[in-house]
Amino acid sequence: MRWRPIGQAAAVVAIAVVAFAVATLLGRPDDAELSFGQDVPDDVRVESDAVWSHFAERFDARMTCIDDVTVVLVGSVEGGDARYVVGESRIEIRIPTTPARYRESLAHELAHHVERTCADFTSLRTDLEPLLAADAESWWVGPTWEETPSERFAEAVVEFVNGERVRHAATVPVDDEVLAVIRRWGVGDEPDPADDPDDDPDG
């Protein structure tokens, strides 16, 4: 299994293990967890733990809503680098790859995991539909992969979680307003209807 070398791997692994142990001790008992379906190299585990840590921080208010998820490394994925297996809470990622590409694939598929396992996602989708020119029926389909609302949401999550995108940054642009809506939902900062000037009886 090939993986581009990552410098100072031993030190990074040690730090990641300590950070993960602390997060486990402090985390809520019902928070979702990420696991692996097989033994994986230390550097792959470090990259996975880093993405999961960022994901859990940015979706802190929803971590008790989603299911546990399993990552499996595979030799090939039909039509791409990774896929989310609906109904099994499993993410399959093609190896070999690069760390940057792996991080993007994992964050993208975690977005699909949120879509499929979090009942609260309905409220987020409702807020995103007008921004993505979608409705409940068209959320999962589009004329192209790049134009499918579900995939555009997943790419927004890549940017939200990782702070940047490379592979699809040019073909699937992410609007700042979309990121803002996802951010509010992720941390549970829902807009207060009482603050809406349209609802002000004196307005």
Q: What is the rounded average pLDDT of the residues 43-50?
A: 95
pLDDT at 201 over 70: no
Q: What is the rounded average pLDDT of the residues 11-30?
A: 46
| 8 — pLDDT class (breaks 50, 70, 90) | very low
- Taking CA atoms, 125 is separated from 129, 137, 194, 199, in Å, by 6, 11, 22, 23
User: Scanning the structure block, which residue is given the tokens 């190896």?
Assistant: 95
| Tokens, residue 179 | 């990121």
**Domain extents in the chain:** 28-190
Distance of alpha carbon 181 from alpha carbon 177, whole angstroms = 6
Using DSSP bridges, classify how beta strands 82-85 and 69-74 pair: parallel, antiparallel or unpaired. unpaired
| 190 — pLDDT class (breaks 50, 70, 90) | low
- Amino acid letter, residue 200: D
- The overall pTM is greater than 0.85: no
Q: What is the rounded average pLDDT of the residues 152-166?
A: 96
